[in-house]
């Protein structure tokens, strides 16, 4: 029986990967929910689980997941990889790649509960890794690197991150049956096929403490689901959960493609993640103005703005026309510094936000927020294209 089950899993992961690589896009409706404690105080996963469970009707059991930040304080300087395997071959192939490039500080099977909650989970492991190459030698055009200088540190950090992006993309597209689902530091993604409440219990997420949680319940329009295809989508510290269908997918894909991001999964979340990575991490565009690119104001609004602002908005639309996201979406993107929620510019998908003390909540439905916080200080429905940003005070995290 066990054997049989294992074969099933193997088949599923392989098929679904091929399925995805054949560039099928699966539109889906969804529930999204995110909580951040802006003072950096951690709290366990039961709150997020409670919230997302309220929106059971918005998913259909074909995908659920969570992203959690601050969960691995003992390994906070190490790359934390969560990896799905379909069997031992893909595992050993992937581990060869890891060993070649990293010092493996620690690794283990991701702890899970009773498998009755879910169907056919793949084998899942997490690794805590230190890069062998420190990028000091190759940094900053061979000039002498001052490891204390902020600029040089940034260069080294960016090189390291580029290397990770490259490695993750290579493993995910080249090693059959292996899929890296999260690749950040002091964060992790837990996801799979099932309702989010089942997935949450399966991964025992109330055992983890994080200062930022996002979650997702999926309602895809196809019947085939695969564990790696569930949300959140992750890359480096990024995680993205998304409700909607991006009708500008082709244009966005072309845009990130021009900067070397290969969209192998053909999912909206993938391209959204790359857009964030490109604009925020690579091009260093301030978070507070990203929405002016991703969900730019309409021309008729731009027309009414004062001239200096108008010229800037016009420049955004000219240069970043390929980064404009069109069609219905409500997304929550997060990394270790912030949670960022955004609706499409004519608000074709629901999104509610609320604050209570240091907590910021973003949800597809108000009910989920009310479930975990019955009397928020403020609760509002962000307008289309108006971001909700919760910035984490990292100082507090360091001091802890």
Q: How far is the CB of 300 from other proteins (least distance, A)?
A: 6
386 binds other proteins (CB under 8 A): no
Polymer length in residues for the chain: 400
User: 282 to 301, contacts with other proteins by CB under 8 A?
Assistant: 283, 285-286, 288-289, 296, 298-300
Considering the candidates 20, 30, 263, 373, report the single residue annotated as catalytic.
30
Alpha-carbon dihedral 14, 17, 23, 24, rounded to 10 degrees? 90
Long-range contacts of 51-54 (CB under 8 A, 24+ apart): 51/215, 51/361, 51/363, 51/368, 51/369, 51/371, 51/372, 52/196, 52/197, 52/200, 52/215, 52/216, 52/217, 52/368, 53/196, 53/197, 53/200, 53/371, 54/365, 54/367, 54/368, 54/371
User: Quick check: helix, strand or coil at residue 2?
Assistant: helix
264 binds other proteins (CB under 8 A): no
Nearest C-alpha neighbor of 67 from the set 224, 197, 234, 243: 234
Q: Measured between alpha carbons, how far is residue 384 from residues 9, 342, 350, 367 in Å? A: 41, 8, 10, 20
Q: How many CA atoms lie within 13 A of 185 on its CB side?
A: 15
Q: How many residues bind other proteins (CB under 8 A)?
A: 50
262 binds other proteins (CB under 8 A): no
Residue nearer to other proteins on the CB measure, 6 or 314: 314
User: Quick check: helix, strand or coil at residue 306?
Assistant: coil
Residue 373 appears among annotated catalytic residues? no
Residue nearer to other proteins on the CB measure, 1 or 151: 151
Residue nearer to other proteins on the CB measure, 115 or 309: 309
174 binds other proteins (CB under 8 A): no
| Interface pick for other proteins out of 13, 26, 36, 52 (rule CB under 8 A) | 26
Distance CA 112, CA 327 (A): 37
User: 188 to 247, contacts with other proteins by CB under 8 A?
Assistant: 221, 244-245, 247
Q: How far is the CB of 276 from other proteins (least distance, A)?
A: 15
249 binds other proteins (CB under 8 A): yes
Q: How far is the CB of 95 from other proteins (least distance, A)?
A: 34
Q: How far is the CB of 205 from other proteins (least distance, A)?
A: 29
400 binds other proteins (CB under 8 A): no
154 binds other proteins (CB under 8 A): no
Please give the structure tokens belonging to residue 24.
Answer: 């099928």
Pick the piece of the chain touching other proteins (CB under 8 A) from 44-52, 147-155, 169-177, 319-327: 319-327
Q: How far is the CB of 216 from other proteins (least distance, A)?
A: 16
Strand partners, 306: none
Residue nearer to other proteins on the CB measure, 26 or 372: 26
Nearest C-alpha neighbor of 89 from the set 127, 51, 123: 123
Q: How far is the CB of 245 from other proteins (least distance, A)?
A: 4
Are 192 and 124 in contact, with CB atoms under 8 Å apart? no
315 binds other proteins (CB under 8 A): yes
326 binds other proteins (CB under 8 A): yes
359 binds other proteins (CB under 8 A): no
Could you give the residue numbers annotated as active site?
Answer: 30
């Amino acid at each position: 029986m066990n054997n049989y089950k294992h074969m099933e899993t193997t088949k599923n992961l392989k098929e679904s990967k091929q399925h995805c690589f054949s560039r099928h896009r699966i539109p889906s409706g969804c529930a999204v929910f995110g909580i951040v404690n802006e003072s950096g105080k951690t709290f366990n996963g039961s709150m997020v689980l409670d919230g997302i469970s309220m929106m059971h009707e918005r998913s259909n059991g074909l995908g659920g997941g969570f992203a959690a930040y601050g969960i691995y304080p003992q390994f906070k300087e190490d790359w934390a990889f969560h990896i799905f395997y379909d069997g031992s071959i893909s595992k050993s192939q992937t581990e060869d790649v890891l060993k070649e490039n990293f010092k493996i500080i620690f690794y283990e099977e991701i702890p899970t509960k009773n498998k009755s909650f879910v169907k056919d989970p793949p084998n899942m492991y997490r690794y805590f890794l230190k890069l062998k190459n420190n990028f000091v030698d190759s940094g900053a055009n061979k000039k002498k690197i001052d490891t204390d200088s902020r600029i040089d540190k940034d260069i080294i950090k960016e090189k390291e991150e580029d290397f990770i992006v490259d490695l993750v993309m290579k493993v995910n597209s080249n090693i059959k049956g292996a899929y890296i689902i999260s690749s950040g530091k002091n964060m992790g993604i837990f996801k799979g096929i099932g309702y989010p409440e089942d997935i949450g219990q399966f991964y025992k997420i109330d055992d983890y403490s994080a200062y930022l949680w996002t979650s997702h319940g999926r309602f895809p329009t196809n019947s085939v689901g695969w564990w790696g295809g569930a949300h959140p989508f992750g890359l480096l510290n990024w995680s993205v959960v998304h409700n909607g269908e991006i009708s500008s997918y082709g244009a966005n894909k072309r845009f990130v493609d021009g900067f070397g991001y290969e969209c192998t999964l053909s999912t909206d979340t993938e391209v959204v993640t790359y857009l964030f990575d490109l604009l925020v991490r690579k091009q260093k565009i301030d978070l507070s103005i990203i929405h002016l690119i991703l969900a730019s104001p309409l021309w008729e609004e731009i027309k009414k703005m004062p001239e200096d602002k108008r010229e800037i908005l016009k420049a955004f639309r000219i240069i970043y026309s390929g980064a404009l996201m069109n069609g219905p979406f409500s997304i929550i993107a997060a990394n270790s510094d912030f949670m960022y929620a955004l609706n499409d510019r004519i608000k074709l998908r629901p999104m509610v936000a609320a604050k209570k003390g240091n907590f910021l909540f973003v949800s597809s439905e108000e009910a989920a927020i009310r479930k975990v916080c019955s009397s928020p200080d403020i609760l509002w429905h962000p307008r289309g294209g108006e971001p909700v940003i919760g910035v984490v005070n990292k100082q507090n995290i360091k001091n802890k």
